[in-house]
Structure 1
Amino acid sequence: MEGKNNSIVSEFILLGLSDEPEQQRLLFFLFLLMYLITGLGNLLIMLAISSDPHLHTPVYFFLSNLSLVDICFTSTTIPKMLSNHISKNRTIPYAGCLTQVFFFIWFAGIDSILLTAMAYDRYVAICAPLHYNTIMTPRVCVLLVLVCWSWAITNSLIHTVLLIRLSFCGHNEIPHFFCDLSPLLKLACSDTFINDLMVYTVGALTAFLPFIGILLSYAHIFIAIMKISSVRGMQKVFSTCGSHLAVVCLFYGTVIGVYFTPTSTHTAQQDTAAAVIYTLITPMLNPFIYSLRNKDMKGALRMLITRKLGFTV
């Protein structure tokens, strides 16, 4: 297309998760409830961390950033899906669709790299505890977060700009509940070779490299655990890392399965189901995963509720 957008499609139709009215109503209330839980849970995590001086440490700094990103991540897709259901109008303008793609890829990329920064923090805390305070300084933590946001927005801009150059010649039905890169590329009637190449190169840098970094961090952590003779010490390490590892498995397992495996091996329905996991279920579970087994986090949440909201727990 020589960098020129000759699209004749002015809007797309989001087919959603179901055509059955009964299922649509059930899914609407289910997604609304999950979205509210996600927003409230992550907001409470952020407020608890900011209000408790004991939690002003690198691990909770990264966690508060993850909570912020998760709120933005779910807000990119779920409100539009809910409004489409209420209005009975499944269309989304061409510009709105590209905007959704941009923010979706941006926040997903931040999530990916931020999980790596959290793994590095756990690695330093367990494998080099005596040097932890000199390595994980406030300046280093801020720089790591800035790298997450900067690299992710660069990755998102590349995919979005390359998407603009494609033509869409009539087929405008997206078998999804939001505008995602993969189904849009399937709808394009122009050559998507460069787009696919960028998904497997630049996109892979945002998914696979962080994932490898996490695996290496946990490999070193596992070796360090094997050297701990105290059962109590091992339990403490597993408690510290278990929450993060659970989130990593949920997030990367679905993302890599959708974007970095041949499209012939999975259907649109499977992609949509996987998307529900990493766009809504994982962000919703994060506050529970990180707080239920964390005494400091539970204490901070209890203090927040009793002091700030006036309830007794």
Structure 2
Amino acid sequence: MREKIFANALNQIYELGPKRLILLKNYLGGFENAWGASKQEIEKITGLKDFNDLRKNIDPEKEWAILEKENIKVIMPEDENYPQKLLETPYPPAILYVKGELPEPSALHLAVVGTRNISTYGQEACKKIVRDLSQAGLVIVSGLASGIDGLSHKTAIENKAKTIAVLGSGLWEKALYPPENKKLAQIIAQGNGALVSEYPYRMLATRFSFPQRNRIVAGLTTGTLVVEAPEKSGALITAYLALDYNRDIFAVPGPIFSKNSAGANNLIKAGAKAVTEAKDILKEYGFEIPSSEKNISLSAKEKIVLEALNEPMPVDEIIARTALKTEEINSILSLLEIYGLIKNNRGEIYKI
């Protein structure tokens, strides 16, 4: 317990950071020893010159009491419940804060990541694939960001699956980012999984903390699915980290003219497995896939319309592509929706 108290106290010194925190532990034989070390020792190991000034304003017992009051657990690499997959990465966090309950480690954990600026295509692809993965019992891991991250968590919860949100801030409610996902964070922690962070309780997110937390997202999981991501995207950082950790990489292909899909398409060209449905992932891990083919006999014109829907599009575009009459298209779309083969989202028709 005392090691955790002093690990948390040292972690309040933002200037140390995760890597130097581990250095102190390794060089001085533990966090309690590090807390009591001289300014000269700390400077020699970490290069930090003002350690004493930073340390004097921190009360280890008081900081620990805050965590207990907020029902935040602290786990460290030597604990039995520390995620085994994180231990297999080059820099496992020296300290993890957990609010809620980590799902069973035996369950397959999959990272689902992507752009914050989600398109209709990305939204529907994410909901469809994550829904089916959740129903198969996978744990969905993401970063609580806007767009794909938040939608992945929500879809997992809606389908009775567990989810883990890895934060780029501390677990203090006022530090959670983005603010619009605070309610979602509460729902996750209240019986639907866990919020996880390596950062001290009150730390606000920075532009450096998000890329750094991506290593935990990749490290917790067996594979990473990129749903929709432009060429320069934090989601690709997660994918490349997963690759470094020898984990599986999956990506949802998108329209070739869509900047939002350029990153995912490039991953596929580089060797990531293309995913158009959850089965593509489930088969990789030996899940039994029940037959769910819809035994529907389609007319020639219905087949033409369905084949034209290779991406979400408005009715006018479908008419232009198929050269069918407006009244025919409206009738066919109604039937295809009844069959459960297509859906209409705010005027855009897409194939399910």
Q: Which has the larger radius of gyration?
A: 2
Higher relative helix content: 1
Relative to the length of structure 1, the TM-score reads 0.24
Structure with more contact order per residue of length (Cα contacts < 8 Å, sep ≥ 6): 1
Higher relative strand content: 2
